[in-house]
Structure 1
């Protein structure tokens, strides 16, 4: 039996293959290939995550803390005797905006008491009082009975749906429905049995409890960990690999698999291939989002590194500037001059 990257190939090699045997070979090859691709993609994802965690997030956190210090500076300045009413209004607007972002994005909860002090400050822009927006999304001046009526209507819809589901559950099933359910249940049982047959063969051969030799007991324990992990995931391909690796089956055995056995093995392999496809596409989509691309490719990683390095350099410049601003704006005359330019 040939080996490829320490993994036993599971493939039927008859000269004349049946449809089920061809499907078995196609699925095992697809799973092998997708597994390799998925491992490569996981490594890239981990590489990106480590780089972001190590080099980018600490700078973001530092920048957020400096902005929080600026909010506290504005809060102290608000009560200074030299601050005018117009300047207080500008400071309140700055504090509300900055504190809200820092609490919601950076989770700097220590700013909540400061934000609460200024969130009720009167905003610019008057209204006629008839249709004023308020923070919870409701409108002042609307009929309270209208909202109550809408909620009652929603409750009626939910109650009607619950009643339909109850009636559907209590409705007697037709003979065809019962037949379909019985067939589906039988397929599930046979599929489970197909996996369990492979599993039990390996358990009988490698269960360590009755092994008197300590070294062999350790070896069998390690093998059983692999067997149990494959069985719990219904990874039929991994179970086949283990059987081949430890010579529980050979090529002749694979070629002699009955059609009904192949049918259920193929069903499990299709599910396994679909799960790998789903994970691969989900990870690819997440990487595309992280790198800011429509789709993630090998070149996306290079572009991401360049973009990340640019962002890190800009953040370092922004942090340096913010430290300088904090020192300057601590001077009341400079702060008042700066507020004149704030709109």
Structure 2
């Protein structure tokens, strides 16, 4: 028996030029094979990556956050040391306030709020309430809708849900029984003819799939076999035929025909251009569905990687990026743990503060208005 993995290509008869339909068939087959391979790679890679995120990456993120919180508490403790000068204390306070604010973006922590309030000279909760109200007013102005109740204005999903609910209320208030409904205009003869032509073409395409399916089913029906081994073989093949037909997988059905020797390259070469065009229509739809599925995996991967929309995200690049992030997190944790030991020495702390880069204007503006 021939392998199901043999290459499917449409050779052309020895005489005559190669038709456009035949060239397109081969091109579509190549693209489908590539798309299949890529989709299989995504299906294998993404679950493994997600598992690694849960088992390695996320725990390291939590560990880094906890260690950094310990570092901020240590710096808070050292803030009043008599050997620190005024400028050193100011620099230390800016560092504590700025980084406490960063940590608060991911956690509602009373200890971090206290650190931010004391070292930043502000009230975190009051600033957050003010910022939320400003965002609410801005969104109401932009969308022309009034948001009622307690809505998480920092959640796009919550805002979108509230907006749609508001639109629903407005539509309900504005709705009234239609007094006069316009009768649909009769379709023109040209439109009717076009619809009839498209329907007929769709039926021919479906019939092409049915023809292949019926030929395979006729040969592979397991109930007709008396030999147990042959019945099991045909049962497995028939399951693949049913799955390919249900998935509109023309390539899979043609490969199965090659596998069970219903067709060969010579019989493919003798197909009419009309039949090849019908095959091409199904192959195009199949390719489009595969590409849409691949795009879904790329979208999920891009969100997990926080990738730029212009980045080319592939299974390989996703694994490489995750491994790089894990290595970076481990290095950051090791550095923080060293600082937790060394910065208890005020001389080391003073040297550390001296080496600390100055806050940029953007960072200073964010500290002055952390919710902008």
The bucket for the TM-score relative to the shorter chain is 0.5 to 0.7
User: Residues 134-161 of structure 1: CA distance to partner in whole angstroms, max 9, x if unpaired?
Assistant: 3226279x799x8599328x959x96xx
Count of aligned pairs: 314
Q: TM-score, normalised by structure 1?
A: 0.62
Q: TM-score, normalised by structure 2?
A: 0.58
**Counterpart residue number, 1:9:** 8
Aligned match for 2:284, one of 248, 265, 270: 270
Secondary structure at 1:112 match in 2: coil
Q: Could you tell me how far apart the structure 2 residues matched to 1:271 and 1:297 are? A: 24
Q: Does 1:27 align with 2:41?
A: no
Q: How does 1:1-343 map to 2 (within 5 A)?
A: 6-16=5-15, 22-38=19-35, 41=38, 58=56, 61-71=59-69, 74=72, 91=96, 93-100=98-105, 103=106, 111-114=107-110, 117=113, 121=117, 134-136=130-132, 138=134, 147=141, 150-151=144-145, 155=167, 171-175=184-188, 176-251=190-265, 253-275=267-289, 314-327=328-341
**Counterpart residue number, 1:129:** none
| Greater alpha carbon shift after TM alignment, 114-123 vs 318-327 | 114-123
The 1:59–1:328 alpha-carbon spacing in structure 2 relative to 1, beyond 3 Å, is farther
What residue ranges of structure 1 are gaps of 5+ in the alignment?
104-110, 127-131
The 1:88–1:276 alpha-carbon spacing in structure 2 relative to 1, beyond 3 Å, is closer
Q: Could you tell me how far apart the structure 1 residues matched to 2:216 and 2:138 are? A: 72
Secondary structure at 1:151 match in 2: coil
Tell me by how many angstroms 1:221 deviates. 1.4
RMSD, matched Cα: 5.8
Q: Could you tell me how far apart the structure 1 residues matched to 2:347 and 2:32 are? A: 62
What residue ranges of structure 2 are gaps of 5+ in the alignment?
82-88, 147-165, 360-372
**Contact 1:41/1:284 (8 A) holds in 2:** no
Q: Could you tell me how far apart the structure 1 residues matched to 2:330 and 2:211 are? A: 60
**Contact 2:250/2:279 (8 A) holds in 1:** yes
The 1:173–1:322 alpha-carbon spacing in structure 2 relative to 1, beyond 3 Å, is farther
